[in-house]
Amino acid sequence: MQTVTVVGIGADGWAGLAEPGRAAVRAAEVVLGGPRQLELVAGQTKADARPWPSPMLPALPGLFAELADRRVCVLASGDPMFHGIGATLARMLGPDRLHVVPHPSSVSLACARMGWAVDGVEIVSAVARPLARVRRVLAPGVRLLVLSEDATTPAALAALLVDAGYGGSELTVLARLGGPDEGAVHGAAGSWAHPPGDPLNVVAVPCVADRDVPVRAEVPGLPDDAYDHDGQLTKREIRAVTLALLAPRAGELLWDVGAGNGSIGIEWLRAHRACRAVAVESDDARAGRIVTNAHTLGVPSLQVVRGRAPEALAGLPTPDVVFIGGGVTNPGVLDACWTALRPGGRLVANAVTLEAEAVLVAGRARHGGELTRLEVARAAPLGGFTGWRPAMPVTIWSTTKGDT
């Protein structure tokens, strides 16, 4: 069975490669990599140097099938297993077919330059990903590293920080890390005026919040005013309990059915960067607000499906967890969600009307689980005094689907 060697290489090129990496390059019959990586080893090997095909991912299975009888070395920037081709090849070929020779990652080098502990930073990649993901981790005192898409990322990040209320934060753009021409530029987000520089850069930001900027917690139950909404919003206290019952876990997929203005799906995604969610909403205006809220709160990966359940559920990937916040009385919605839910998955549904509550009671009779009623009252002015203003009670049904 062919073993593919993946060698991490830095901006210092051949000079920075340890002997195991050099030996792998010399021994290869074919060396694969981007043009920049291939240039770094030019003249050091007699192998056939091939740049990656474009688009790369769809071509990889055929490429490695073609090279099955040849000694292949793959060049990767920095640590191949950190946002690199190594992780992609491990998924495609299997770890048993890979031999990885790592190199310090750009994050390790950036932390070394800043004097930061690697385990004390928030890392956000903007490479082929929305920069809005930065908003999820913003908080006073956070040490942030952004892996740039290109030379324009630092200015875009500065503008995002200003918009989010972190204009006083200092940006350090570290370019060509580890190379002989490594450089850095500094400046505050609010007065950023540097022109685009080298496309190979990492931006380090010790986050400083402007006065009176609200800090968004990572635990469920953001304030209601964190969202743009029309009143169709699971209120803060109910939302916190609902998310606790949904129990987000890394990598799980949530269906937020009848999503309103998106608060449940958004806070599910904020629970862990690997969480996934689909929000299904039939009202076009609300669906638009979901997109806006998701970007504002740093989870632009929320997939919004505009349509009415159960028809809009057809073709969606199998959920690990389902939340039904609206439309539970629509014929077929509960049955469609239950049928789609994977064995062992969790379902939570909320109701505020008697008709919707009856559906949840019937669902519990068929599928088990727990019913909970929550009543929340908030203090509000009452003449010259203060009294309790109760919200409508909410019934919550939560259950787990068996293995059969």
Is the pLDDT assigned to residue 386 strictly greater than 70?
A: yes
User: Distance of alpha carbon 115 from its chain centroid, rounded?
Assistant: 26
Higher pLDDT, 216 or 256: 256
What pLDDT is recorded for position 161? 98
Indicate the average pLDDT of the chain.
95
What pLDDT is recorded for position 212? 86
Alpha carbons 187 and 183: distance in angstroms, whole number:
14
Higher pLDDT, 299 or 218: 299
Q: Is 232 exposed, middle or buried (0-12, 13-18, 19+ CB in 10 A)?
A: middle
Residues of each domain in the chain carrying CATH 3.30.950.10? 107-206
Of 164, 156, 143, the C-alpha closest to 209 is: 164
| Across 385-400, average pLDDT | 96
- Dihedral, 230, 234, 235, 238 alpha carbons, nearest 10: 170
Read off the pLDDT band of 39 (50, 70, 90).
Answer: very high
Strand 394-400, strand 346-351: pairing: antiparallel
**CB within 8 A of 134, min separation 6: which ones?**
124, 126, 144, 146, 157, 160, 161, 298
- Sort residue 315 into left (φ over 0), alpha (ψ -120 to 50) or beta: left
| Across 358-375, average pLDDT | 96
245-262 tens-digit pLDDT: 999 999 999 999 999 999
Read off the pLDDT band of 218 (50, 70, 90).
Answer: confident
- Dihedral, 30, 32, 35, 39 alpha carbons, nearest 10: -50
What pLDDT is recorded for position 396? 98
Q: Please give the structure tokens belonging to residue 262.
A: 């998106």
CB-based contact 98:6 (threshold 8 Å):
yes
112-122 tens-digit pLDDT: 999 999 999 99
Q: Please give the structure tokens belonging to residue 62.
A: 């055929």
- The pLDDT > 90 percentage for the chain reads 93
Strand 170-175, strand 183-188: pairing: antiparallel
Is the pLDDT assigned to residue 294 strictly greater than 90?
A: yes
270-287 tens-digit pLDDT: 999 999 999 999 999 999
What pLDDT is recorded for position 249? 97
Is the pLDDT assigned to residue 52 strictly greater than 70?
A: yes
Of 171, 27, 24, 29, the C-alpha closest to 110 is: 171
What pLDDT is recorded for position 83? 87
CB-based contact 229:297 (threshold 8 Å):
no
| Across 123-130, average pLDDT | 95
Question: 4-103 — its CATH code?
Answer: 3.40.1010.10
299-330 tens-digit pLDDT: 999 999 999 999 999 999 999 999 999 999 99
| Across 38-53, average pLDDT | 94
The model's pTM? 0.90
Is the pLDDT assigned to residue 32 strictly greater than 70?
A: yes
Phi, psi at residue 175, to the nearest 5°?
-110, 145
- Rounded to the nearest 10 degrees, the angle between the axes of helix 354-367 and helix 333-340 is 40
Residues in the chain: 404
Helix spans in 200-283 (H): 236-246, 263-271
DSSP labels for 167-193?
A: TTPEEEEEESTTSTT-EEEEEEGGG--
Is the pLDDT assigned to residue 139 strictly greater than 90?
A: yes
Is the pLDDT assigned to residue 404 strictly greater than 60?
A: no
Question: 224-400 — its CATH code?
Answer: 3.40.50.150
CB-based contact 102:59 (threshold 8 Å):
no
| Across 216-226, average pLDDT | 91
Residues of each domain in the chain carrying CATH 3.40.50.150? 224-400
What pLDDT is recorded for position 402? 87
| Across 124-139, average pLDDT | 96
> What amino acid occupies position 156?
A
Q: Which CATH architecture has domain 107-206?
A: 2-Layer Sandwich (3.30)
What pLDDT is recorded for position 403? 64
Read off the pLDDT band of 231 (50, 70, 90).
Answer: confident
Cross-strand partners of 386 = 381
| Across 364-373, average pLDDT | 96
Read off the pLDDT band of 56 (50, 70, 90).
Answer: very high
